Each structure stands twice: as C-alpha cells, then as structure tokens.
C-alpha cells in the first residue's frame, strides 16, 4: 500500500486525477471503477480540465460505478432536476463534460425491477469487460467502501445492502437536490459492489480529505482488518493500493507515515 499525502483537498484531487489520466493515456481502453460522494468532485473536475485543455481521450474507456440508492434513478417519468440518483450525479459532475460513450458507462440501476438479478448481471459485465483496472474509492464516516456498511462480509459481491443510520445522516448533506426531500425520505437501501468485487480491481485508489476523516482513515489503514470498517479490507488487496490523502485526513496516522 502506498500512502501519498498532499497539502490540501485541491492538491490531493489533482494528484488522484493524474493517476487516472496516466492510466487512460497508457491504456486507452481501460476499465475504471468510479465513486460518488463529495470527495471525488474535484478529481472529476481535473479530469474534465485535462480532457478540455489537453485532449485526454475517454472515447474507449469503460466505467463501472460502485453503487446507487435503491428506488431512485434517472426516470423519464420524473423531472431530471429533482433526481437524487448517483446516475445524475455522475452525469452532472463528469460524464456530460467528457467524450465517454454512453454504452461504456455502467451504473447500478436503482430502479431495477429485480435487483438481485441485476446485481448478478453487473458482476458478469465487469468480468466481460476484463475486470476493473483502477477503482476509485472514497471512505464513508463509518469506514464503508462503496455502501459496504459495517458487518458486510469481506468476500461480499454486488448486492442490495441496508444503509446505516450514520450513512444516511452523513449523505443527506451531499444528497443531490435535497431541497426536494426530507432526511426521513432518503432511500434506506442501495445496490453496491461488494468488498470482494472491489478487492479484485487491479489498482485501488482511495481518496480522503479533511480532519473529520482522520480517525476512520487511521482505523482503516493501521487498525485490524475487520468487517466493522470495510475499508480496512484494502490491507488484504493483492494488487496495487494507493491512498491519496490531504494533511487533514492523514493527521491521525502514526506508523504508516514518517
């Protein structure tokens, strides 16, 4: 595991975007796993900048998003502007600004009629694409990867997962168009890639920013591997793991930095 510390959120995001851009240049038909939440927004902005200013080409890139709330999604029956799905988040924050092909984008379908079948299909699509070359990850306040809440098996696959109260509280802050919803109306379930799915990526790139993430980052990187903090499973990742932090998020690490 390599841990890289940058001064602030902006520098951390540029460095993360450069790792992703490097892969896209080396392997134009690479498969990238994408994350949502507030942390990756500036990483996506820098990728957009590299696309617009330097011609970074996404035309052959395939993407697979980590997760989606169950029960919401871009639905033609409802106004797009009031949609809170991660599908809309990704469209607004990244996809509509770059030259990625629609058919190369994969996001769990929060409106799937048979979610279990959908999850099995999603796993198959990842396999068919040749696996994920680089998986971008954030970390939840309770240490979750994607929506793998405390207690999730470290061997878990893409599935439906109930959301923890802390996650609902944390994510309400960044819930898209939240003016339209009350906290109690947030979806209580999500479709998420499993920890096992994530551990099969060739390179995992976790990003975290700010002192409020410092405690959980220290637990995940320096604590025991435990399903209580599913991000700790990155310690078992057999391939390459990069953790990109700013000074705030790294401030409680002890032995893993000098």
Q: How far apart are CA 124 and CA 132, in angstroms?
A: 12
| 254 Cβ contact partners less than 8 Å away, ≥ 6 residues apart | 218, 222
Q: Is 227 in the site for ligand GLP (CB under 6 A)?
A: no
Q: Is 136 in the site for ligand GLP (CB under 6 A)?
A: no
Q: Which of 149, 200, 219, 246 is catalytic?
A: 149
Pick between residue 56 and residue 139 the one whose CB is nearest to ligand GLP: 139
Active site annotation includes 91: no
For every residue of 23-58, DSSP letters joined together read: HHHH-TT-EEEE--SSTTHHHHHHHHHHHHHH----
Residues of this chain, 174-213, that bind ligand GLP according to CB under 6 A: 174
Active site annotation includes 149: yes
Q: Is 164 in the site for ligand GLP (CB under 6 A)?
A: no
Residues 58, 17: contact at Cβ < 8 Å? no
Pick between residue 56 and residue 146 the one whose CB is nearest to ligand GLP: 146
Q: Which two tokens stand for residue 150?
A: 């405390």
Q: Is 67 in the site for ligand GLP (CB under 6 A)?
A: yes
Scanning 4-12, 47-55, 95-103, 133-141 for contacts with ligand GLP by CB under 6 A, the matching segment is 133-141
Choose which of 135, 152, 171, 230 interacts with ligand GLP (CB under 6 A).
Answer: 171
Scanning 5-13, 44-52, 132-140, 219-227 for contacts with ligand GLP by CB under 6 A, the matching segment is 132-140
Pick between residue 35 and residue 244 the one whose CB is nearest to ligand GLP: 35
| 94 Cβ contact partners less than 8 Å away, ≥ 6 residues apart | 34, 44, 47, 48
Active site annotation includes 18: no
User: SS3 letters for 168-218?
Assistant: HHHHHCCCCCHHHCCHHHCCCEEEECCHHHHHCCCEEEEEECCHHHHHHHH
Q: Is 66 in the site for ligand GLP (CB under 6 A)?
A: yes
Binding footprint of ligand GLP, residue count (CB under 6 A): 15
Q: Which two tokens stand for residue 144?
A: 């979750």
Pick between residue 5 and residue 136 the one whose CB is nearest to ligand GLP: 136
How far is Cα of residue 85 from the mean position of the Cα atoms in its chain? 14
Q: Is 140 in the site for ligand GLP (CB under 6 A)?
A: yes
Q: Which of 18, 57, 92, 142 is catalytic?
A: 142
Q: How far apart are CA 23 and CA 26, in angstroms?
A: 5
How far is Cα of residue 7 from the mean position of the Cα atoms in its chain? 22
Pick between residue 93 and residue 123 the one whose CB is nearest to ligand GLP: 93
Residues of this chain, 3-42, that bind ligand GLP according to CB under 6 A: 35-39
Question: What residues line the site for ligand GLP (CB under 6 A)?
Answer: 35-39, 66-67, 138-140, 146-147, 167, 171, 174
């Amino acid at each position: 595991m390599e841990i890289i510390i940058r001064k602030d959120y902006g520098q951390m995001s540029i460095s993360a975007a450069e790792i992703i851009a490097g892969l896209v240049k080396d392997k134009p038909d690479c498969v990238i796993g994408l994350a949502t939440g507030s942390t990756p927004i500036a990483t996506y902005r820098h990728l957009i900048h590299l696309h617009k200013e330097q011609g970074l080409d996404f035309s052959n890139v395939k993407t697979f998003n980590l997760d989606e709330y169950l029960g919401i999604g871009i639905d033609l029956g409802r106004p797009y502007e009031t949609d809170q799905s991660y599908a809309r988040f990704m469209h607004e924050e990244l996809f509509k600004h770059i030259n990625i092909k629609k058919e190369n984008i994969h996001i769990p379908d929060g409106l799937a009629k048979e979610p279990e079948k959908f999850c099995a299909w999603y796993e198959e699509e990842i396999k068919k694409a040749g696996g994920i070359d680089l998986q971008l990850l954030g970390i939840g306040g309770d240490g979750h990867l994607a929506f793998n809440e405390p207690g999730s098996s470290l061997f878990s696959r893409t599935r439906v997962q109930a959301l923890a109260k802390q996650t609902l509280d944390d994510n309400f802050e960044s819930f898209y168009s939240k003016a339209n919803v009350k906290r109690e109306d947030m979806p209580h379930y999500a479709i998420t890639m499993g920890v096992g799915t994530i551990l099969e990526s060739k390179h995992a790139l976790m990003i975290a920013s700010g002192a409020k993430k410092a405690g959980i980052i220290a637990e995940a990187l320096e604590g025991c591997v435990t399903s209580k903090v599913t991000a700790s499973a990155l310690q078992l990742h057999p391939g390459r793991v990069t953790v990109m932090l700013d000074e705030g998020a790294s401030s409680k690490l002890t032995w893993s930095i000098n």
